Structure 1
Amino acid sequence: MNKLNILFISHASGSGGAEQCLFDLIAHINDEKIKVYVNTPYRDHLTAELDKINIPYFVSFTDQWIAPIDKWGIKHFFNFIVGLRSRIWSIQSKIKEHNIDLVYTNSLTCIDGAIAAWRMEVPHIWHIHENLIGNHSIKSYLPTQLTYKIANFFCKNFIAPSNALAHILTNPTIKVHTIFNGIDLKKFKYKTNDRIKTELGLSTSTHIVGQIGSIIPIKGVITFIDSAEKVLATTLNKDLAFVLVGSGSKEYTAVIQNKVAKSPFRQHFHLLGQRQDIPQIINELNIVILASNSEGLPRVVIEAMAAGKPVVATRCGGPEEIIVDGETGFLVPVKDAQAIANKVTYLLEHPNQAQAMGEKGRLRAQKLFSMDQYIQNIEKVIIETVSQTHPNSQ
């Protein structure tokens, strides 16, 4: 088989879950089979990481037809439409110049690469990380079902990180591949050195409960804080810290900061903001919470399990395919702070059971969510998609 030239389109260049999945794929993909090119809309964390591994990339603005709710509106839609032609031409020129065999868009929110690939008669794969149904943090400019129909038109294959999301995308004419996210298990060492406790001025005996993710409403940040307050109001052990790791808009971050400042337990909360040392932080947590309202396949749950940490997560889609309820963690209803608090309290009061859950979770992460499996499965879809379009490429 000839070496394939693949153009990966990233909708963002930050350190979000979708960008992390893309970087892991690019960093580990078989460079004897695939030549990687990346298009990213601006310079940030992703481009800095690509520089470290000498991956060529283009900084060329792409816009979103499914926009963050704080950007969504007439002004953004007008700018999206006005700039669409030039953005598509920019991607088309890269397809032509580098003899691109396939375009791989890493988020449903960005359609520019899909249209460019269609115009150049190059196959296109859409790797979907977001669920539009019930998602109040992003919004399409079109009705949801019409959005999915248009996505189907511009796509040869979908990749979804969970069966729940794949079910939403299912279409008789489009093949949907469920490929679980993979992580680098070596980063999660199942041990701690108390560095974060020292940074926060905590004692070595303090138990830390944390949530890691964007500070946006869909991540259930308010629910996390409410559940923490319920734990602190009832538990006899007050040597507890609750940490939030992640960033969001100034407006919503201010809402969260204000809520914590008014809490009677405010001294137990620590808002760490955006961090680049997530594996180290997870390694020091005793319990990981995911209080989201909707998720595809949250990396942080897999990462927590890889580190041997019990997880309390909402039944919001992807977590139900990661966690074995009562064995590797607990699943609770969405927006139920009391249910989260009950499970966290149980784990704090039963450390042996918590440790056993963490160990079972670590074994499950090793079995189902390895980086090797993730890369091999995506490489297979890429090669099959190109072969179906251009049989002589093999």
Structure 2
Amino acid sequence: MRIIQIIDSLEIGGAERMAVNYANALADEIDFSGLVVSRKEGALQEQLNEKVDYLFLNKKASFDLWALWRLRKFVLKNQVAIIHAHSTSFFIAFLLKLICPSVKMIWHDHYGNSEFLDKRSVWLLKTILPFFAGVIVVNQKLKNWASNELHFSNSLYLPNFVSEQNYNNENKTTILHGIDGKRIVCLANLRFQKNHFLVLRLAEKLLKTNPDWTFHLVGKDFQDEYATTIKNQITDKGLSEQVYLYDSITAIAAVLEQSTIGILTSQSEGLPLALLEYGLFKKPVVVTNVGEVATVVTQDVNGLVIALDNEQLFLDSLVKLINDESLRVQLGNRLYQTINDKYTGESVVEHYMNWIKRTIKNE
């Protein structure tokens, strides 16, 4: 079997990491595994397995004929049978289908605002998806949406997954501020749905009771109004020595090894890769109950899951972990076991390959 992944960029993000993860995981499973980046290269290229064939299109516009021609040439040269398009790269995959009709197309929907699907535009997807053989989604809400709104029948829920090897190969490091054993990390790009304002309110309250504990916000700074407001509030609330911003960091292992507790304050998620990374590094977590979070974290078993609107309980749960080291160790170990059992490349790729053989390959 010969499959390529297509993604718009290799900047650090959940969909981008998953495109790399699939390309790497398939490299040892199939005859040919490739990764095509359409618009922008980035730090995640360093994590690409040397067995994966790589192409950068340097696409300049939605209708870039030169980029499309290069993609077609790559597909034909390598006898690619299946295109696995992630997120908004479905459009160039659709254009390729028009000139290479024998190639099968899969769309991977990583939509992070799954709590607000009623606001999602559907007209372009309804036009293009009839040309696709299957859709992969990262949570059950997206699967239901694909069926009910897009009227697409062959959809498959596959959880995101992590590969320990990706983190073992990191050759960069980052030194976090704060005191060892008293760092709270939030891996989330600076986007509205990630709700960093809740982090700032938590930090403001903890400053009065646990001033030696610090928050570390790791994620892409888009230099927009949201990011500016976050920075201004950190200054205005006097939190400059309690909350630290790091922008994108590729050395996630180094960050998590220096962290004590992992949190996610999101208003909406698919299945957050950050949560799986917390578990992989045995971090106890406090997370909001959005997307597929509750399928990974069971309350008081392998983490603490908080209703979206219960800020006080989030704070109380965080303090509970701060005050109980043995509980932190217990929950971290159990979350690691959950990730190791259900959210590694081996288990997910097996389901993926079975689905392709059953519903895509001979369509």
TM-score for both structures, normalised by structure 1: 0.80
Amino acid at match of 2:161: G
Q: Is 1:182 the equivalent of 2:161?
A: yes
Amino acid at match of 2:110: H
Residue number in structure 2 paired with 1:245: 218
Residue number in structure 2 paired with 1:277: 251
Residue number in structure 2 paired with 1:45: 43
- Change beyond 3 A, Cα 1:273–1:131: closer
Q: Is 1:293 the equivalent of 2:267?
A: yes
Mapped partners of 1:355, 1:49: distance in 2: 29
- Change beyond 3 A, Cα 1:270–1:131: closer
Residue number in structure 1 paired with 2:290: 316
Deviation at residue 299 of structure 1 after TM alignment? 1.0
Kindly tell me the number of residue pairs found equivalent between the two proteins.
354
- Change beyond 3 A, Cα 1:357–1:133: closer
Deviation at residue 363 of structure 1 after TM alignment? 1.4
Mapped partners of 1:125, 1:385: distance in 2: 11
**1:36-82 per-position Cα deviation (integer Å, ceiling 9, x unaligned):** 232212332233443x615322221457xxxxxxxxxxxxxxx63xx
Q: Is 1:123 the equivalent of 2:97?
A: no
Deviation at residue 32 of structure 1 after TM alignment? 5.8
SS in 1 for 2:262: strand
Deviation at residue 258 of structure 1 after TM alignment? 1.6
Mapped partners of 1:338, 1:92: distance in 2: 54
Structure 2: gaps of 5 or more residues: none
Mapped partners of 1:58, 1:322: distance in 2: 34
- Change beyond 3 A, Cα 1:337–1:32: closer
Mapped partners of 1:134, 1:84: distance in 2: 33
Deviation at residue 95 of structure 1 after TM alignment? 3.1
Deviation at residue 308 of structure 1 after TM alignment? 1.8
Amino acid at match of 2:56: V
- Change beyond 3 A, Cα 1:91–1:185: closer
Matches for 1:322-337 after TM superposition, within 5 Å: 322-334=296-308, 336-337=310-311
- Change beyond 3 A, Cα 1:348–1:202: same
Report the RMSD for the aligned CA atoms in angstroms: 2.8
CA contact (8 A) 1:101 1:386 kept: no
Amino acid at match of 1:107: S
Q: Is 1:221 the equivalent of 2:218?
A: no
Amino acid at match of 1:47: Q
Residue number in structure 2 paired with 1:156: 133
CA contact (8 A) 2:27 2:51 kept: no
- Change beyond 3 A, Cα 1:347–1:32: closer
Matches for 1:62-211 after TM superposition, within 5 Å: 62=59, 80=62, 83=63, 87-108=67-88, 110-121=90-101, 122-131=103-112, 133=114, 144-170=121-147, 173-185=152-164, 199-200=175-176, 202-204=178-180, 206-211=181-186
Mapped partners of 1:288, 1:201: distance in 2: 16
Structure 1: gaps of 5 or more residues: 64-78, 190-194, 390-394
Residue number in structure 2 paired with 1:69: none
Amino acid at match of 2:212: D
Residue number in structure 2 paired with 1:66: none
**1:243-274 per-position Cα deviation (integer Å, ceiling 9, x unaligned):** 11111211233322221122233211221221
Mapped partners of 2:164, 2:29: distance in 1: 24
**1:147-197 per-position Cα deviation (integer Å, ceiling 9, x unaligned):** 4423531321111222232222226652111111221246789xxxxx96x
TM-score for both structures, normalised by structure 2: 0.86
297-306 or 343-352, which deviates more: 343-352
Mapped partners of 1:244, 1:91: distance in 2: 37
172-181 or 54-63, which deviates more: 54-63
- Change beyond 3 A, Cα 1:132–1:211: closer
Mapped partners of 1:49, 1:366: distance in 2: 20
